[in-house]
């Protein structure tokens, strides 16, 4: 009886991806995301975006063997990568707004306190000169201040309770005018480090978001949000002036909520650089080779070794470069590899037993 010839042993049977030997012939198959070409050997990429936009809510980008979804500006992907959710720009550096930031779906809007008008850049706040419009409603004098204004009276008059009109009384007029100027937000910002607001004959100091007013009621100190439950960050919390930022460790990406860390599926991007199969893991990934191949030293490409071929590897326990705890370590791990331990040679030293082992790796097809 004539023995069956294994066509896959020679150049992988001419298959671009995987070759499976069968009785009297062989079959080529392709990895996920590819389809077998008309020659039944080559593999062509499937454009998943051509079918229902790949199921992506906004943008679909085709890649070799896969695809990725993207979101429009003002949105980020959820942790599953299947939906686009609104990103709250106001959570980070107050959205770049000088004073007030209001988040809206897909964007945000900057607003200003009373006495200010939004600048042409849509973020900065410019003081309004109230005195330029009908003298600010003052009967006599109007003095513009940062974010406000002050009415005062001519000599011989005093300001009334409405803060705009004047009545004749020279002594009281001078006293009130002097006290108002001493506590005016327009004079050195009223002594306030951040924001100043006139309140009758006195001023009130306020701090920007992310700061706390000190006991002197004038200066402001930064809030270290990271000291409170790590800022609710999944991984690392970085305190910055007036705010904070969550950062993720290598292999993860920040979620749209600005706090959670989602695993990056490296296999979605050019198959992780793997020549054959790519397996995603938490925070990393691993390349695998098809039957008859051995993972190369770069941990990505695959070297052809055929079926039932044996590869002898010398293992030194002091280097620990092949086996750990009786198993192939992460760098040397292969699918369908059988370890055959031969000739264990022990050499006693002052630090215990150093073992040199002749290891045979055999691919089973």
Q: Tell me the CATH number at 134.
A: 2.10.25.10
Pick left, alpha or beta for residue 217 (phi over 0 → left; psi -120 to 50 → alpha; otherwise beta). Answer: left
Q: How many domains does the chain have?
A: 2
Within a domain: 207: yes
Distance from C-alpha of 226 to C-alpha of 212, rounded to nearest angstrom: 15
Q: What percent of the chain has pLDDT over 70?
A: 77
pTM for the structure as a whole: 0.36
Distance from C-alpha of 334 to C-alpha of 328, rounded to nearest angstrom: 8
Distance from C-alpha of 97 to C-alpha of 100, rounded to nearest angstrom: 6
Q: Tell me if residue 310 falls in helix, strand or coil.
A: strand
Within a domain: 346: yes
Which has more pLDDT, 119 or 161?
Answer: 119
pLDDT at 120: 92
Mean pLDDT of 343-348: 34
Best-predicted range by mean pLDDT (126-130, 173-177, 291-295, 334-338):
126-130
Q: What is the DSSP annotation of 51-94? A: TGGGG-SSEEEEETTEEEEE--TTEEE-TTSS-EEE--GGGTGG
Q: What percent of the chain has pLDDT over 90?
A: 18
pLDDT digits (tens, 9 = 90+) for 251-289: 898 888 888 999 889 898 889 899 888 998 888 999 988
Q: What angle do CA 185, 188, 192 make, to 5 degrees?
A: 65
- Domain extent for 302: 294-365
pLDDT at 356: 39
Domain-terminating residue out of 221, 245, 277: 221
Distance from C-alpha of 251 to C-alpha of 253, rounded to nearest angstrom: 7
pLDDT at 68: 87
Domain-terminating residue out of 221, 252, 271: 221
Q: Tell me if residue 208 falls in helix, strand or coil.
A: coil
Within a domain: 109: no
Dihedral over alpha carbons 135, 138, 142, 144 (to 10 degrees): -80
Mean pLDDT of 320-340: 40
Q: What is the DSSP annotation of 270-295? A: GGGG-SSEEEEETTEEEEE--TTEEE
Distance linking the first and last C-alpha atoms of the chain: 22
Within a domain: 214: yes
pLDDT digits (tens, 9 = 90+) for 9-35: 989 999 999 999 998 899 999 999 999
Within a domain: 344: yes
Within a domain: 88: no
Number of H helices, E strands in the chain: 1, 33
Q: Which residues make Cβ contacts (< 8 Å) with residue 159, sequence separation at least 6?
A: 151, 152, 153, 165, 166, 173, 176, 177, 180
Within a domain: 269: no
State the chain's mean pLDDT as an integer.
Answer: 77
Within a domain: 104: no
Domain-terminating residue out of 190, 221, 252: 221
């Amino acid at each position: 009886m004539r023995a069956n010839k294994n066509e896959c042993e020679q150049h992988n049977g001419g298959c671009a991806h995987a070759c499976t030997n069968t009785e009297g012939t062989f079959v080529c198959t392709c990895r996920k995301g590819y389809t077998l070409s008309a020659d039944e050997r080559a593999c062509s990429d499937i454009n998943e975006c051509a079918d229902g936009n790949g199921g992506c809510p906004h943008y679909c980008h085709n890649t070799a063997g896969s695809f990725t979804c993207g979101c429009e500006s003002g949105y980020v992907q959820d942790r599953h990568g299947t939906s686009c959710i609104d990103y709250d720009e106001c959570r980070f550096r107050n959205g770049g707004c000088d004073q007030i930031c209001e988040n809206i779906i897909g964007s945000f809007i900057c607003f200003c306190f009373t006495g200010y008008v939004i600048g042409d850049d849509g973020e900065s706040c410019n003081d309004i000169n109230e005195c330029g419009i009908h003298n600010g409603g003052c009967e006599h004098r109007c003095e513009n201040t940062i974010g406000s204004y002050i009415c005062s009276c001519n000599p011989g008059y005093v300001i009334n309770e409405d803060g705009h009109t004047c009545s004749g009384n020279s002594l009281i007029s001078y006293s009130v005018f002097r006290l108002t100027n001493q506590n005016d937000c327009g004079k050195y910002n009223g002594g306030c480090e951040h924001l100043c607001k006139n309140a009758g004959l006195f001023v009130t100091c306020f701090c920007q978001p992310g700061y706390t007013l000190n006991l002197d009621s004038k200066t402001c100190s930064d809030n270290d949000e990271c000291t409170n439950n790590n800022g609710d960050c999944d991984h690392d919390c970085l305190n910055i002036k007036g705010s904070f930022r969550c950062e993720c460790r290598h292999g993860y990406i920040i979620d749209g909520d600005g706090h959670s860390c989602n695993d990056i599926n490296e296999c979605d991007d050019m198959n992780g650089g793997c020549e054959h199969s790519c397996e995603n893991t938490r925070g990393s990934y691993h390349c695998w080779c098809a039957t008859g191949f051995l993972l190369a030293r770069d941990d990505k490409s695959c070297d052809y070794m055929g079926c039932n071929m044996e590869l002898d590897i010398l293992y030194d326990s002091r280097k620990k470069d092949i086996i750990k705890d009786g198993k192939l370590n992460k760098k040397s791990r292969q699918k369908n590899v059988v370890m055959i331990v031969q000739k264990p040679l022990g050499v006693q030293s002052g630090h215990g037993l150093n073992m040199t082992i002749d290891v045979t790796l055999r691919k089973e097809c």
